[in-house]
A = this chain, B = another copy of it.
Amino acid sequence: MFVLVNLKAYDCNSVAIAEAAHEVAEESGTRIAVSPQSAYVERVAATGVETWAQHVSPTGYGSHTGSALAEAAAAVGAVGSLLNHSERRLKLADIAAGVDAASEAGLAVVTCANDPAQCAAVAALGPDAVAVEPPALIGGDESVSTADPDVVTEAVGAVEEVDEGIDVFCGAGISTGEDVESALELGASGVLLASGVAKADDPESVLRDLVEPIS
């Protein structure tokens, strides 16, 4: 089980959350990663926690002012990157080029997508995993397991048909340990979380509760 905490552009203490995540990961043996703003990747990685970029550009070295170079993220400690998050939707050709750019820099890639058909589409581009983010669940309070469990099983099936080696993560509707457990039962092998952890008064205890059922 892989738990990725997306800190977005939240007004939060990225390093403190990273330390908490590292602590809980060590303690529980669960793989937990933190995905901070690009400028914070270095200090988040310095805590020892597995660190992911939130996005990398579809370009390599060159004249690309204002890009998010995969090699730079890797050089300061990132080991993976999200791509095509619902808040940063990309052109199809740029997802393909972004997967290549990230891979070339040694980063793992999780491409996000809205529904099973789009999950199959991004799977064809060769990422390491696909995260399904049903628009109806994004940023809401509903749980994927009660609101729309089929979307996960269908995404798992659709991605499997393209490439059995690609994992499927549940990218929305997760806020409790039960949700994590449900995602696992539905066939997901990872979850993406954001505000539930990042905006919590005590992120460490939230994370501990989250991974408890699966540790």
Chain A residues within CB distance 8 Å of chain B: 6, 8-11, 37-43, 54-55, 57, 59-69, 71-73, 75-76, 78, 82, 84-96, 113-115, 117-118, 120-126, 139, 158, 162, 194-195
Contacts and interface: CB of A to CB of B under 8 A. Distances in A.
14 contacts: A8-B62, A9-B57, A9-B64, A9-B65, A9-B67, A39-B69, A39-B75, A66-B87, A68-B68, A84-B92, A93-B118, A96-B114, A96-B117, A96-B121
Nearest to A97: B114
Contacts of A113: 92-93
Oligomeric state, in number of copies? 4
A65 B88 contact: yes
B65 A6 contact: yes
A87 B73 contact: no
A115 to B, nearest CB: 8
Contacts of A122: 92, 121
B121 A69 contact: no
Contacts of A55: 65-66
A29 B22 CA distance: 45
B114 A118 contact: no
A154 B92 CA distance: 19
A72 B12 CA distance: 11
